[in-house]
Amino acid sequence: MAAYEDELELTRPGLRPLLPRTVVALDFDGTLAPIVERPEDARALPAAVEVLSAVAERVAQVAIVTGRPAADAVRLGGLDDVPGLVVFGHYGLERWSSGELHSPGETSGVALARERVIQLAASRHGVTVEDKGHSVAVHTRQAEDPEGALDELRLRVSAIADDAGLQVTPGRFVLELRPRGADKGVAIRSLVSEASAEAIIYAGDDLGDIPAADAVRELGATGVVGVVICSESGEAVPEFRARADVVVPGPEGVLRALAILTAE
Ligand SMILES: O=P(O)(O)OC[C@H]1O[C@H](O[C@H]2O[C@H](CO)[C@@H](O)[C@H](O)[C@H]2O)[C@H](O)[C@@H](O)[C@@H]1O
């Protein structure tokens, strides 16, 4: 237990006094919610609401920044009980706070992409499509050879994205087709700016979290103290782990680190 505390304090000495002026931002899948076979079965750890509520009392802002629709993350996490929580969904395209969702209108190109990836998945055992409204995700975790299936699909999904005017965001056994422009780095910068924060803690694990980690570093150059936590439950991508100050054992480790950091 002391190890996290030591690591967090050693990584950024003086972080604790800055907590009232700190933003704590977390990814959802793999960071608050353990990875599961089917996206619809993901749930935040039962302790998440209690820990995040306690953190919210000590810091300037608690936020979730996820590739999921914001409302899905709130529902799957039971997060509407966390005071003052802000949830950026679709990598920042959507914003949820105090029960209100701000979401853009229909995103052009998604209907075409949806139709084409459903066709693609239909002939491939274990390849599934998650329809997220503003984006679609092609998952291979349930295929016999998830990595092989992902590799086989990359070029085809890329061609569909080009035709639909969308971008492909790869992740763990998933290729997402989504509107260009939003990324987790933009979301992190706006959270820090809105809160006039002097410190930012970000926890994540996947490729989509890299822009957030890079934003933390860029903000560091402007004097904002930053800590990047990698949630490692056996699947964190090396590119994100390499950017982390602290590696903790999965969602339980993330909650424990936050509880230690914000303990009185
Ligand atoms: O930004 P995140 O909150 O990490 O969301 C990224 C994507 O996560 C989800 O997929 C991942 O988790 C699933 C459930 O554990 C797992 O089955 C899948 O293999 C992972 O890639 C989610 O389904 C996507 O929509 C998110 O964009």
Give the model's pLDDT for residue 106: 79
Tell me which residue range forms the domain holding 141.
108-179
User: Measured from the CB, is residue 66 less than 6 Å from ligand 1?
Assistant: yes
Interaxial angle between packed helices 184-194 and 210-220, expressed in degrees from 0 to 180 and rounded to the nearest 10:
40
Q: Distance, CA 3 to ligand 1 centroid (Å)?
A: 29
Q: Which of 179, 204, 229 is the last residue of a domain?
A: 179
Give the model's pLDDT for residue 7: 66
Q: Distance, CA 135 to ligand 1 centroid (Å)?
A: 13
Give the model's pLDDT for residue 1: 41
Residue 154 sits in the same domain as residue 207: no
pLDDT in 10s for each residue of the chain, 264 residues: 445 666 666 566 678 899 999 999 999 999 999 999 999 999 999 999 999 999 999 999 999 999 999 999 999 999 999 999 999 999 999 999 999 999 998 788 999 999 999 999 999 999 999 999 999 999 999 999 999 999 999 999 999 999 999 999 999 999 999 999 899 999 999 999 999 999 999 999 999 999 999 999 999 999 999 999 999 989 999 999 999 999 999 999 999 999 988 887
Residue 187 sits in the same domain as residue 81: yes
Q: Which of 151, 179, 207 is the last residue of a domain?
A: 179
**Is the residue at 248 inside a domain?**
yes
**Is the residue at 103 inside a domain?**
no
Residue 83 sits in the same domain as residue 6: yes
Atom of ligand 1 nearest to the CA of 72: 25
| Both structure tokens of 201 | 């803690």
Looking at residue 116, which CATH number applies to its domain? 3.30.70.1020
Q: Which of 127, 162, 179 is the last residue of a domain?
A: 179
Q: Distance, CA 1 to ligand 1 centroid (Å)?
A: 28
Residue 166 sits in the same domain as residue 238: no
Q: Is 169 exposed, middle or buried (0-12, 13-18, 19+ CB in 10 A)?
A: buried
For ligand 1, atom 27, the nearest C-alpha belongs to 67
C-alpha to C-alpha distance for 72 and 83, rounded to whole angstroms: 18
Atom of ligand 1 nearest to the CA of 139: 19
Give the model's pLDDT for residue 8: 67
ipTM value greater than 0.95: yes
H/E run at residue 10? helix 2-11
Residue 173 sits in the same domain as residue 193: no
Q: Distance, CA 169 to ligand 1 centroid (Å)?
A: 11
Residue 145 sits in the same domain as residue 215: no
How many domains, the chain?
A: 2
For ligand 1, atom 5, the nearest C-alpha belongs to 67
Running DSSP on this structure, what letter comes out for residue 69? Answer: -
User: Measured from the CB, is residue 130 less than 6 Å from ligand 1?
Assistant: yes
User: Measured from the CB, is residue 141 less than 6 Å from ligand 1?
Assistant: yes
User: Measured from the CB, is residue 208 less than 6 Å from ligand 1?
Assistant: yes
User: Measured from the CB, is residue 27 less than 6 Å from ligand 1?
Assistant: yes
**Is the residue at 159 inside a domain?**
yes
Q: Report the predicted TM-score, pTM, of the whole model to 2 decimal places.
A: 0.95
Residue 222 sits in the same domain as residue 237: yes
Rounded to 5 degrees, φ, ψ at 36 are: -130, 165
Rounded to 5 degrees, φ, ψ at 94 are: -115, 155
Give the model's pLDDT for residue 2: 43
User: Measured from the CB, is residue 29 less than 6 Å from ligand 1?
Assistant: yes
| Both structure tokens of 11 | 């990584």
Residue 136 sits in the same domain as residue 57: no
| Both structure tokens of 87 | 């949830």
Give the model's pLDDT for residue 16: 86
User: Measured from the CB, is residue 77 less than 6 Å from ligand 1?
Assistant: no
